[in-house]
DNA sequence: CATTAGCACTCAACGAACTAGAGTGCTAAT
DNA sequence: ATTAGCACTCTAGTTCGTTGAGTGCTAATG
């Protein structure tokens, strides 16, 4: 049995109906609402075939049918006609995005908030990954006898502070010399590439402050990799309550627990392929807790290099067409904005 | 009609039962479980009186009674016998708290996480209020031709970065001179006290960099007051699902929406009196959305000055005794830890 | 005179039984 | 190949009694 054109049209009709209604769709509904030129009985037969092929499932006998993950996948890959995003909306989004530019984190959080507001799904975002950024400036500042503050600025605009505890008292001037030296040697380095070897080479050329540098730099680099500190942004968590599929406390709890757990979000977004727009449907998700959700993400880049991701998560019955458009367009806006305000 | 000792004992019994069972309490339950030496009929009469006095309410005729906000208030003020917190638990909490000390924010977030884990309620915390802290160090760092980074360190350990956009190119050396000058003049100032007048006085004594300072300092100070950036920490949001009073999607949604809104939490915590431990019961809350919740907070201090708050929020049927103990003890631990690691 | 046993009354919660209605699958006619 | 027709299925509501916890009142009691 093959998927002929009529079957595809019926599948499309069912999925579109289901996305807006959240109710199982029966053959009569389709024959009435869509002009397919065949009777409900024919549609009934076709639906039976579509179920056999795995694109539809029946919650119970004597109910209509709902799309399976496989059905949604086909829909997304083949049946989605990409309409253009409303110009006004695009313009508004970009306006909101650049309304108040502070640090990059602020910008990304802004993007997440816009995304949730415009799509009415929960939005996710990760701030530029420090490891993938280049070191732009490094500065050591004495705080008191036992502490110095290391400030690291990256090309993507991220500023990261680390308080270091030290034994020996180092003078302001000495710290300045070390700062300058580190700047000189490490500027432009990919932060992820600064490893033991690099640090070893670093101190080969300098004798006076060798010990201090070996005390300071590894701790500093380590603290940059602290994942608990990494910027994960969420907005619109409570949007999930608007969907009938989460009219169940257990499910709502599971969703919110998952999404509030930053490491989950981080792994999910970082593990994915780094393609432009990525769509993960239901059971395709690697986390069991969200096997009834779809996730749509897009990357954002600086200097042609992907540095982070934004996206939304919601029920598999998601308005794919709209969300894909919004996410893509917002990620392009982000690229623009980053280029303009944070260019290397 | 007066509240004699027997009425108080009955009220106490009802509240204690209700806190653990979440079910309306009937007269027979009390007479069986607590040895008050009177029959259920007598208790029935007393309960009727307690209702008339406003300490109890009846969900419907033929149901037991539950405490009113006024009842809880009396309980908290008069009937709570303060038992001591388990020594092991105290020790564990402190251990966890100082397990990994990074910046203050990290410490406060740690406290919130411990609080939620130990009490099984949603926990809240605010990071040290920059306005109430003193300036310890200020440093201007050039990023590129159009941007400089201002790093401000306070006595409470908070490090705050602000990226400033400038027109004219300022050399590294000039920035250093300005940094040193500002340090010299502003160190020790309460950040909240640095106003236009102070800045005016600041530039009276210096001519060379007057314009630059006037360009930089006000923006810097302003950005410190940006409330969207202020540290509000939450943990255990989903704990609310464990309480039968939130077995209702609408209520759960209202709660989570409220609590996820940082400005709400900020106003709530900052508006309260700044006493040691503060308990707000049900309708005493200024926010309509949480009129069925109680909030228990404690302040934490540095150098005898209150700089922030931690606390929990949950249903009015809260284990007041335990939560008060835990919150108080954790706030003392925080004081200790701050003193040790972040002392001025 | 406070206390209590006794009893009629109330009401939410639960479950059984029934109904309505949407939808299917099959069969036979077109 | 398509479709009208129909028996069948199953959920979601609805009604209606039953149960049981709890109350409030009254009259008896020490």
Three-state DSSP string of B99-157: CCCCCHHHHHHHHHHHHHHHHCCEEEEECCCHHHCEEEEEEEEEEECCEEEEEEEECCC
B228 CB closer than 7 A to any strand C atom: no
- Report the C-alpha gap between B295 and B311 in whole angstroms: 7
Q: Which nucleotide is nearest to A28 (CA to C1')?
A: C23
- B138 to chain A: nearest residue by CA? A141
Q: Which nucleotide is nearest to A51 (CA to C1')?
A: C24
Structure tokens at A150: 């290391």
Among B142, B161, B237, the residue with its CB nearest the CB of A159 is: B161
Helices (H), B34-102: 40-52, 69-74, 87-97
B42 CB closer than 7 A to any strand C atom: yes
What DSSP state is assigned to residue A26? P
Q: What angle do CA A201, A205, A211 make, to 5 degrees?
A: 80
B235 and B109 together in one domain? yes
Pick the last residue of a domain from B172, B203, B228. Answer: B228
- Report the C-alpha gap between B101 and B157 in whole angstroms: 11
Are B157 and A163 a contacting pair at CB < 8 A? yes
- Per the listing, tokens 């303060």 go with B82
What pLDDT does residue A176 have? 86
Pick the last residue of a domain from A210, A228, A246. Answer: A228
Residue B113 at interface with chain A, using a CB cutoff of 8 Å: no
B63 and B176 together in one domain? no
A117 and A141 together in one domain? no
Residue B245 at interface with chain A, using a CB cutoff of 8 Å: no
B212: CATH: 3.30.390.60
In this structure, are residues A151 and A135 in contact, taking their beta carbons and an 8 Å threshold?
A: no
Count CB-CB contacts under 10 A for residue B298: 23
Instruction: Flag residues 49-108 of B with CB < 7 Å from strand D.
Output: 51, 58, 61-65
- Per the listing, tokens 């080479």 go with A201
A215 and A142 together in one domain? yes
Return averaged pLDDT per consecutive 10 residues of chain A, 344 residues in all: 92 97 96 93 97 96 96 96 85 90 86 97 94 89 86 88 81 86 90 87 83 86 72 95 93 96 94 89 97 97 91 98 96 93 68
B220 and B259 together in one domain? no
Q: Residue A122, exposed/middle/buried by CB under 10 A (0-12, 13-18, 19+)?
A: buried
- Report the C-alpha gap between A73 and A86 in whole angstroms: 25
B158 and B305 together in one domain? no
B293-302 and B305-315: which strand pairing? antiparallel
- Per the listing, tokens 């029959």 go with B39
- Report the C-alpha gap between A240 and A255 in whole angstroms: 8
3 state SS of A6:
helix
A30: CATH: 1.10.10.10
Nearest-Cα distance to chain B for A147, in Å, is 10
Pick the last residue of a domain from A228, A251, A267. Answer: A228
- Report the C-alpha gap between A44 and B29 in whole angstroms: 60
3 state SS of A37:
coil
3 state SS of A194:
coil
What DSSP state is assigned to residue B299? E
- Report the C-alpha gap between B176 and B141 in whole angstroms: 8
- Nearest CA among B156, B144, B33 for reference residue B104: B156
Residue B253 at interface with chain A, using a CB cutoff of 8 Å: yes
Range of the domain at B185: 131-228
A261 and A318 together in one domain? yes
In this structure, are residues A78 and A14 in contact, taking their beta carbons and an 8 Å threshold?
A: no
Q: Which helix (H) or strand (E) holds A162?
A: strand A159-165
What is the tens place of the pLDDT at every residue in B293-340? 999 999 999 988 899 999 999 999 999 999 999 999 999 999 999 998
Q: Which nucleotide is nearest to B36 (CA to C1')?
A: C3
Q: Which nucleotide is nearest to A37 (CA to C1')?
A: D2
In this structure, are residues A100 and A106 in contact, taking their beta carbons and an 8 Å threshold?
A: yes
Cα B121 to the chain's mean position, in Å? 13
In this structure, are residues B110 and B215 in contact, taking their beta carbons and an 8 Å threshold?
A: no
- Report the C-alpha gap between B124 and A193 in whole angstroms: 38
Query: Per the structure, how many domains does chain A have?
Result: 3
Angstrom distance, A141 CA to D13 C1'? 72
Residues 6+ away with beta carbon under 8 Å from B132:
B190, B191, B192, B305, B306, B307
Q: Which residues of chain B have pLDDT under 70?
A: 226-229, 343-344
Whole-number Cα distances in Å, A195 to A162, A200, A219, B104, B320: 18, 9, 11, 28, 51
A295 and A318 together in one domain? yes
A143 and A106 together in one domain? no
Residue B311 at interface with chain A, using a CB cutoff of 8 Å: no
Q: Which residue lies nearest D4, CA-to-C1' measured?
A: A41
- Report the C-alpha gap between B118 and B115 in whole angstroms: 5
In this structure, are residues A191 and A135 in contact, taking their beta carbons and an 8 Å threshold?
A: yes
B203 and B326 together in one domain? no
Count CB-CB contacts under 10 A for residue A27: 22
Count CB-CB contacts under 10 A for residue B91: 10
B150 and B283 together in one domain? no
What pLDDT does residue B227 have? 58
Q: Which helix (H) or strand (E) holds B184?
A: helix B172-186
Count CB-CB contacts under 10 A for residue B110: 22
- Per the listing, tokens 């109890």 go with B56
pTM for the whole structure:
0.93
B260: CATH: 3.30.450.40
A28 CB closer than 7 A to any strand C atom: yes
Helices (H), chain A: 5-21, 27-33, 40-52, 69-74, 87-97, 104-119, 172-186, 196-204, 210-224, 249-260, 262-271, 320-342
What pLDDT does residue B228 have? 58
A192 and A264 together in one domain? no
Chain A 118-137, residues with CB within 8 Å of chain B CB atoms: 136-137
What pLDDT does residue B103 have? 79
């Amino acid at each position: 049995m093959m998927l002929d054109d009529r079957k595809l049209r019926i599948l499309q009709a069912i999925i579109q109906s289901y996305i807006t209604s959240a109710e199982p769709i029966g053959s009569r509904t389709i024959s009435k609402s869509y002009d397919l030129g065949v009777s409900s009985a024919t549609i009934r037969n076709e639906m039976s075939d579509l179920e056999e092929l795995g694109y539809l499932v029946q919650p119970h006998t004597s109910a209509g049918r709902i799309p399976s993950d496989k059905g949604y996948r086909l829909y997304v890959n083949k049946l989605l006609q990409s309409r253009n995003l409303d110009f006004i909306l695009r313009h508004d989004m970009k306006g909101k995005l650049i309304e108040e530019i502070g640090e990059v984190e602020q910008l990304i959080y802004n993007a997440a908030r816009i995304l949730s507001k415009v799509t009415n799904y929960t939005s996710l975002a990760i701030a530029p990954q420090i490891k993938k950024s280049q070191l732009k400036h490094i500065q050591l500042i004495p705080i008191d006898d036992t502490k110095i503050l290391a400030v690291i600025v990256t090309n993507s605009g991220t500023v990261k502070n680390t308080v270091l505890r030290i034994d020996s008292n180092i003078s302001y001037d000495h710290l300045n010399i070390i700062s300058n030296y580190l700047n000189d040697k490490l500027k432009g380095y990919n932060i992820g590439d600064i490893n033991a070897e690099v640090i070893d080479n670093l101190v080969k050329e300098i004798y006076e402050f060798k010990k201090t540098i070996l005390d300071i730099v590894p701790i500093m680099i380590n603290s940059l990799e602290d994942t608990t500190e990494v910027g994960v942004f969420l907005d619109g968590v409570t949007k999930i309550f608007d969907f009938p599929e989460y009219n169940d406390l257990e499910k709502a709890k599971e969703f919110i627990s998952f999404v509030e757990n930053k490491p989950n979000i981080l792994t999910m977004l970082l593990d994915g392929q780094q393609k432009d727009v990525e769509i993960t449907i239901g059971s395709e998700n690697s986390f069991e807790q969200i096997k009834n959700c779809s996730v749509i993400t897009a990357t954002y880049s600086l200097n042609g290099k992907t540095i982070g991701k934004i996206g939304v998560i919601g029920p598999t019955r998601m308005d794919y067409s709209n969300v894909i458009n919004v996410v893509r367009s917002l990620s392009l806006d982000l690229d623009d904005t980053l280029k303009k305000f944070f260019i290397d």
